[in-house]
């Protein structure tokens, strides 16, 4: 409505203007009016203007003509003479951009023909709005465009002219662009968008704007266009990591391929600009070997063996990059977590080896260091030792331990130790390791040699070869080398007054004891040696042991016949009463053997007899008895040859002859010479005669000497032996020197008789060898055996046995059961008592007193005493009473010996040749007749004292 009103206003104005123009035209009329007037609108009254008569117009056929065929825009109203709009007049159509737009037409009148030019000036009105050529203008602007950048926009077009054309532009308000309008040289305006603020694709991908063009008309008109700006991406963003520091813990035993962590970075750019790849930035060469980084997904994984003990933390940077090289970094810290993968290690820092065995307990012998490179509990270590060793560990500084002894060491028990040290850490599971330390113990000489036996004894046969080995001793010393090397030696001592080294020697290395000389059982039966075993240590240790050496008997002595004298030298004749009945005791052969044991068991045999059936001899007793009653037809002279054998392995024997005279009267005795043994040689007879003569010659001398000796003996019995008797020295055992040529032996071999004051016991001690005549058994005169020498032999045994332990049971047995005089003798008189204590003890035991063997029982002491007393009486009686007519038999009686020295030959009480005793006591034969055992038990001392007559011959005296 407003628009209409204003258009009315414009018409009225145009009308006034038109009038003005018409008046100014010269002959011609011109009108000016705006375009776009309505048809019929009056432009002006042309009649008037031209002065024409309006009434006549019609008549005159007034009309408007146009040149050519041009469109007729106006018409004349013939009634009013007004000029009106016939057609729509659009100036823009008719004139376009021309600034003046004039339409020309003619007014024609007829009657008169008249022609008038009419100019129609068409004025512009703002009837067109500005118009843009496009509805939408698009731009693509990179986000990297800088401020001030201009982007031209096509201008808007307005068909109107002058003021009514485009006058200005308005841009929608926005933050990025402004508008710049300028005109070119032709005055044409153009529009540019100016970038006021950079674009950021990442913020705003596009910008939409409205541009409005406004014309200058009144009212103005406008036209708009949309501008679409697309923001193009530029690689303006670097990748960004999700964390600036990545921290992760990784167990050190992680296996290969374990993913440690994944880093990730993002890039705000799009497309290639936003594609991120990863790689290590700063990284140590060591870490590079252990870890890899996946280029595309950022995974860090393990590619090597990770060892906490090598490095506990790895630091590196990771770079994220986009396609065009923008990058950023992040730090990665990989902390390795310790796993108990290292066993403790044991180091031996010092060790004293070998250690002496006398080390005090608690002494340090070594230092040990233990290390575990793991951390915390995994590296905390405990040390221990195996059991059963005398050592312990004492912790000292930090990881150091002292190895000390806890007890005494003894090399002889344990000479070296393998000490196993075990170290265990406290990880879970715990790891442990062990080390063995070898410690040896050095020797100290702390053990003396020890003999294997406490006492040694050796038995050696007599007559051994000098140098032969006797026995050996052995001592052991557990110490080491020279501390345990045993050397043997003999401790100096005396054996029977001679140094022991003259008897035995010892091998220092082997301990074998050798005899230095040949031993003689009859000389001594045993001795003791002290052997010292010493080691070679310094100082040396030693011990000693006693070695008892027993010498055992060999059958090296043949029996010696005491009565009668051995064969060929006997002048003794036994008288046998004619009335003797069967079994009567006629005589007795007495023999001794200086050997001992079996070697001294004697047996008697008749080897030859005048009448073999008449006499028998007791095998063990030596008693000669009649086998049958004597008859008148028997020869008065009866000779027997008796052999005495010992019981040694190879037995030795001796023989003697017994002459028997069957007669009741000495007067009947035939010539002595005739009585000599049939087989005796003339030489023997000759010696016998000499002997008889000598005996007779010295008879009186003997009496005197005996009396003198007896006298002395009463006061001082010792005189009887001391130096008084010279012993033949023809035979001497080896190693014994004879003293001078005087025929006396050095004192060692002489008699020693002691009287002990405390008792009436005198030990008769005699050491000697035998007379030359005692050993051989041939039948020559030089073999004549003196009873004195026999006694000497007996005495040797007597003395020795008191000192010697019996070497075997055999010995003991024979002592008690032996027959005859070859054993020990207990002899007691008013003055002297010869005793063997051992014998006394042995006799007292029932076991030994019972004689089960073939040998007769030994006499009791009482019997012996009785027998000896009787013998003594008998002898003294005989000495006083016997006259020369007694065939010289009495010359053989030696009161000296019968009194004091005749040993107790139990059977000797029946002294042969004493017919007086046999006849004077008729009961006596009956007593003698029972077997030897019975007679041995004869209990009647008075009778026994009367019957026996002890007769002894002493060739010693003859030699004197």
Residues that bind ligand NAG (CB under 6 A): 251, 253, 255, 339, 416, 418, 438, 442-445, 480-483, 491, 537, 543-544
Contact between 791 and 901 under an 8 Å Cβ cutoff? The reply is yes
Q: How, if at all, do strands 355-356 and 432-442 pair?
A: parallel
Q: How far apart are CA 177 and CA 194, in angstroms?
A: 5
Alpha carbons 182 and 882: distance in angstroms, whole number: 212
* 445 or 570: CB nearest ligand NAG: 445
121 or 543: whose CB is closer to ligand NAG? Answer: 543
Rounded distance between C-alpha atoms, residue 803 and residue 134, angstroms: 167
Nearest Cα neighbor of 339 from 425, 458, 244, 217 is 425
Cα distance between residue 65 and residue 72, in whole Å: 8
Q: How many H-runs (helices) and E-runs (strands) does the chain carry?
A: 18, 55
CA pair distance 586, 224, nearest whole angstrom: 199
Per-residue H/E/C for 194-215: EECCCCCCCCCCEEEEEEEEEE
What lies within 8 Å, CB to CB, of 89 at 6+ separation is: 35, 36, 37, 73, 103, 122
Q: How far is the CB of 618 from ligand NAG (least distance, A)?
A: 54
**Beta carbon of residue 458, minimum distance to ligand NAG (angstroms, whole number):** 19
- Least Å distance, CB 494 to ligand NAG, is 14
**Between 480 and 749, whose beta carbon lies closer to ligand NAG?**
480
Assess contact for 344 and 381: CB atoms under 8 A. Answer: yes
In the bound state with ligand NAG, the residue whose beta carbon lies nearer, of 399 and 445, is 445
How far apart, in whole angstroms, are the C-alpha atoms of residue 206 and residue 204? 6
State the Cα angle at 160 between 156 and 163, rounded to 5°. Answer: 95
Residue 876, token pair as written in the block: 């003294």
Instruction: Determine the longest span between alpha carbons in the chain, in angstroms.
Output: 274
How far apart are CB 446 and ligand NAG at their closest, in Å?
A: 7
Which residues, 6+ apart, have CB-to-CB distance to 311 below 8 Å? 286, 336
Shortest spacing between CB 367 and ligand NAG, in angstroms: 21
The nearest distance, CB 518 to ligand NAG, in angstroms, is: 28
Among the listed residues 239, 298, 296, the one whose alpha carbon sits nearest the alpha carbon of residue 268: 239
Q: Which is nearer to ligand NAG, 539 or 846 (CB)?
A: 539
Shortest distance, CB of residue 502 to ligand NAG, whole angstroms? Answer: 19
Half-sphere exposure of 899 (CA within 13 A, CB side): 18
Place of tokens 């060692």: 748
Element (H, E) at 450: strand 450-451
Backbone dihedral region of 298: left (phi > 0), alpha (psi from -120 to 50 degrees) or beta? left
Cβ 386 to ligand NAG shortest distance, Å: 11
Distance CA 550, CA 824 (A): 20
CB of 472 to ligand NAG, least distance (A): 19
User: How near is the Cβ of 368 to ligand NAG at its closest, in Å?
Assistant: 18
Nearer Cβ to ligand NAG, position 45 or 445? 445
Q: How far is CA 278 from the centre of its chain?
A: 62
Minimum distance, C-beta of residue 415 to ligand NAG, in the bound complex (Å): 8
Using the minimum distance from each CB to ligand NAG, give the nearer residue, 308 or 563: 308
Half-sphere exposure of residue 928: CA atoms within 13 angstroms, side-chain side: 32
Closest contact distance (angstroms) between CB of 435 and ligand NAG is: 12
In sequence order, which residues have a C-beta less than 8 Å from that of residue 203 and are 6 or more positions away? none
Task: Provide, rounded to whole angstroms, the least separation between the CB of residue 437 and ligand NAG.
Answer: 10
For residue 262, the surrounding DSSP H or E stretch is strand 259-262
Q: What phi and psi, each to the nearest 5 degrees, are found at residue 355?
A: -105, 140
Cβ atoms of 713 and 719 within 8 Å: the answer is: yes
Residue 364 Cβ vs ligand NAG, minimum distance, rounded to whole Å: 20
Residue 107 near residue 115, CB atoms below 8 Å:
yes
Which residue, 53 or 376, is less far from ligand NAG as judged by CB?
A: 376
- The Cα 729–Cα 745 span in angstroms is 7
**Minimum distance from residue 306 beta carbon to ligand NAG (Å):** 11
CA-angle at 436, arms to 432 and 440, nearest 5°: 160
């Amino acid at each position: 409505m407003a628009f209409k009103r204003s258009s009315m206003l414009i018409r009225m104005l145009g009308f006034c203007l038109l009038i003005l123009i018409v008046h100014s035209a010269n002959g011609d009329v011109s009108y000016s009016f705006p375009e776009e007037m309505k048809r019929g609108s009056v432009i002006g009254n042309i009649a008037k203007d031209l002065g024409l008569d309006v009434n006549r117009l019609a008549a005159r056929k007034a009309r408007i003509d146009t040149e050519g065929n041009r469109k007729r825009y106006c018409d004349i109203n013939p009634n009013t003479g007004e000029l009106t709009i016939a057609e729509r007049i659009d100036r823009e159509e008719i004139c376009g951009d021309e600034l003046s737009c004039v339409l020309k037409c003619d007014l024609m009148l007829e009657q008169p023909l008249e022609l008038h030019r009419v100019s129609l000036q068409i004025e512009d009105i703002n009837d067109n709005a500005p118009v843009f050529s496009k509805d939408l203008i698009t731009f693509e602007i990179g986000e990297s465009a800088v401020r001030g950048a201009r982007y031209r926009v096509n201008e808007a077009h307005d068909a109107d002219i002058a003021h009514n054309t485009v006058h200005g532009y308005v841009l929608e308000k926005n933050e990025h662009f402004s508008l710049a309008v300028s005109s070119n040289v032709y005055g044409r305006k153009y529009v540019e968008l100016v970038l006021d603020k950079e674009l950021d694709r990442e913020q705003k991908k596009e910008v939409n704007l409205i541009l409005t063009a406004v014309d200058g008309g009144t009212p103005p008109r406008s036209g708009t266009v949309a501008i679409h700006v697309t923001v193009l991406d530029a690689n303006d963003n670097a990748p960004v990591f999700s964390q600036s520091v990545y921290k992760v813990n990784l167990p050190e035993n992680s296996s290969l391929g374990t993913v440690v962590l994944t880093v990730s970075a993002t890039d705000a750019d799009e497309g290639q600009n936003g594609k991120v790849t990863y790689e290590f930035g700063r990284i140590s060469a060591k870490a590079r070997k252990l870890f890899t980084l996946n280029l595309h997904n950022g995974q860090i994984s393990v590619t090597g063996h990770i060892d906490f003990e090598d490095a506990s933390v790895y630091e590196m940077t990771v770079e994220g990059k986009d396609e065009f090289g923008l990058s950023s970094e992040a730090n990665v810290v990989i902390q390795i977590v310790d796993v108990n993968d290292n066993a403790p290690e044991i180091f031996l820092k010092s060790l004293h080896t070998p250690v002496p065995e006398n080390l005090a307990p608690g002494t340090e012998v070594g230092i040990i260091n233990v290390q575990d490179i793991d951390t915390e509990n995994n590296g905390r270590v405990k040390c221990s030792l195996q059991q059963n060793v005398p050592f312990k560990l004492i912790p000292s500084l930090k990881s150091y331990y002292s190895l000390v002894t806890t007890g005494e060491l003894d090399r002889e028990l344990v000479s070296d130790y393998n000490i196993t040290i075990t170290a265990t850490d406290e990880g879970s599971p715990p790891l442990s390791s062990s080390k063995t330390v070898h410690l040896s113990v050095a020797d100290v000489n702390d053990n003396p040699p020890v003999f294997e036996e406490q006492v040694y004894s050796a038995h050696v046969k007599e007559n051994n070869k000098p140098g032969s080995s006797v026995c050996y001793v052995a001592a052991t010393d557990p110490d080491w080398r020279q501390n345990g090397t045993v050397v043997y030696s003999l401790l100096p001592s005396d054996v029977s007054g001679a140094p022991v080294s003259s008897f035995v020697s010892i091998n220092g290395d082997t301990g074998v004891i050798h005899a230095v000389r040949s031993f003689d059982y009859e000389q001594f039966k045993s001795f003791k040696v002290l052997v010292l075993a010493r080691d070679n240590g310094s100082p040396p240790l030693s011990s000693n042991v006693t070695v008892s050496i027993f010498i055992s008997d060999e059958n090296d002595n043949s029996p010696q016949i005491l009565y009668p004298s051995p064969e060929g030298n006997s002048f003794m004749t036994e008288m046998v009463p004619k009335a003797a009945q069967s079994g009567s005791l006629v005589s007795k052969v007495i023999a001794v053997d200086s050997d001992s044991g079996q070697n001294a068991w004697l047996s008697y045999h008749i080897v030859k007899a005048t009448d073999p059936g008449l006499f028998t001899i007791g095998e063990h007793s030596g008693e000669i008895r009649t086998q049958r009653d004597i008859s008148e037809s028997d020869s008065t002279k009866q000779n027997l040859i008796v052999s005495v054998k010992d019981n040694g392995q190879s037995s030795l024997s001796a023989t003697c002859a017994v002459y028997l005279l069957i007669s009741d009267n000495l007067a009947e005795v035939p010539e002595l010479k005739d009585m000599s043994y049939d087989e005796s040689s003339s030489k023997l007879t000759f010696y016998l005669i000499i002997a008889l003569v000598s005996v007779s010659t010295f008879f009186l001398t003997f009496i005197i000497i005996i009396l003198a000796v007896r006298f002395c003996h009463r006061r001082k019995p010792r005189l009887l032996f001391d130096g008084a008797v010279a012993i033949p020295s023809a035979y001497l055992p080896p190693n014994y020197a004879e003293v001078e040529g005087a025929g006396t032996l050095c004192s060692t071999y002489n008699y020693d008789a002691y009287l002990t004051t405390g008792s009436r016991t005198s030990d008769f001690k005699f050491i000697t060898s035998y007379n030359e005549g005692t050993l051989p058994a041939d039948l020559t005169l030089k073999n004549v055996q003196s009873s004195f020498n026999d006694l000497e032999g007996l005495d040797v045994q007597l003395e020795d046995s008191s000192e010697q332990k019996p070497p075997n049971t055999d010995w003991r047995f024979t002592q008690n059961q032996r027959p005859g005089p070859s054993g020990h003798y207990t002899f007691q008189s008013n003055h002297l008592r010869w005793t063997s204590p051992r014998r006394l003890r042995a006799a007292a035991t029932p076991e030994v007193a019972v004689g089960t063997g073939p040998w007769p029982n030994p006499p009791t002491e009482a019997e012996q005493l009785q027998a000896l007393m009787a013998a003594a009486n008998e002898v003294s009686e005989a000495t006083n009473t016997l006259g020369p007519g007694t065939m010289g038999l009495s010359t053989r009686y030696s009161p000296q010996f019968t009194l004091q020295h005749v040993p107790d030959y139990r059977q000797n009480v029946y002294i042969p040749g004493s017919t007086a005793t046999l006849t004077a006591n008729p009961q006596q034969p009956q007593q003698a007749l029972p077997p030897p055992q019975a007679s041995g038990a004869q209990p009647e001392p008075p009778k026994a004292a009367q019957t026996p007559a002890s007769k002894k011959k002493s060739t010693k005296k003859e030699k004197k």
